Amino acid sequence: MILFEDRQDALNQLLQQLPLQRMRKESWVVLAISQGGVYFGEKIAGMIGGKADYLFTEPIMAPNNKECIIAMVSETEELVINERLVESFDITLDYVYGEAKRKYEEKILGYLYKYRKGDMVSSLRDKNILIVDEGADTGMTLMASLKTAIAQKVARVAVALPVVPESIAVELEKIVDEVYFAHTVKNYVDVYTYYRELPAFDAVSLGALNEKFCRLKY
């Protein structure tokens, strides 16, 4: 089921759901949570006169299935665990916490020094935060990002996604102040299913995109 031709089409459909005029009168930090989400974050921040930022996260995989995400850790070391998967695979919490520490030290710190000269995400305290991405699959990145924002004591947190599983949409409506979706899908497959074109960023374009986005912040 194709919902979008490409990221631009998805952005256009998402913008129809956002209260842009109201947001322009308020102060918002637009927080992208994936490389693809940076595209949406940059465009939306520009349209509402908001500040662009990026939150780094890293997945923790099951030891017996390297394609199965069991937890997610953010750059502020907030951790979200899929307890159902951890229990079903009989994985110890020591393993999860150990992997979270390793991913933080080996991956996230590297990103911080490469793209932000070691700086953490800007202070979100008392800010209006709009979390954006190109879609949601497991919801783990999204939940880790929300946990990070809430722990930072934000004033208000909203989520904007072009496409989201119906089950995740229902949960988000319970825990965030505002939600904006172009489409909710009951029998969700993965984000690639709903885009006719969703090219990955190569090393050169990815580096340029990250550097450009970080310049918007600093």
Model pLDDT, residue 93: 96
Cα 150 from Cα 68, distance rounded (Å): 26
Of the two residues 117 and 130, the one the predictor is more confident about is: 130
Confidence class for position 50, pLDDT limits 50, 70, 90: very high
Q: Given a cut of 50, is residue 161 above it in pLDDT?
A: yes
Give residue-wise pLDDT tens across range 136-158.
Answer: 999 999 999 999 999 999 999 99
Angle at 36 between CA 176 and CA 68, to 5 degrees: 75
In DSSP terms, 163 is beta-bridged to 183
Domains within the chain, CATH numbers bracketed: 7-55+121-217 (3.40.50.2020), 58-116 (3.30.1310)
| Strands, sheet with 79-81, edge to edge from the N-terminal-most edge strand | 57-62, 65-74, 79-81
Q: Which residue type does 78 have?
A: E
Confidence class for position 218, pLDDT limits 50, 70, 90: very low
Give residue-wise pLDDT tens across range 71-84.
Answer: 999 999 999 999 99
Q: Given a cut of 60, is residue 215 above it in pLDDT?
A: no
Model pLDDT, residue 200: 77
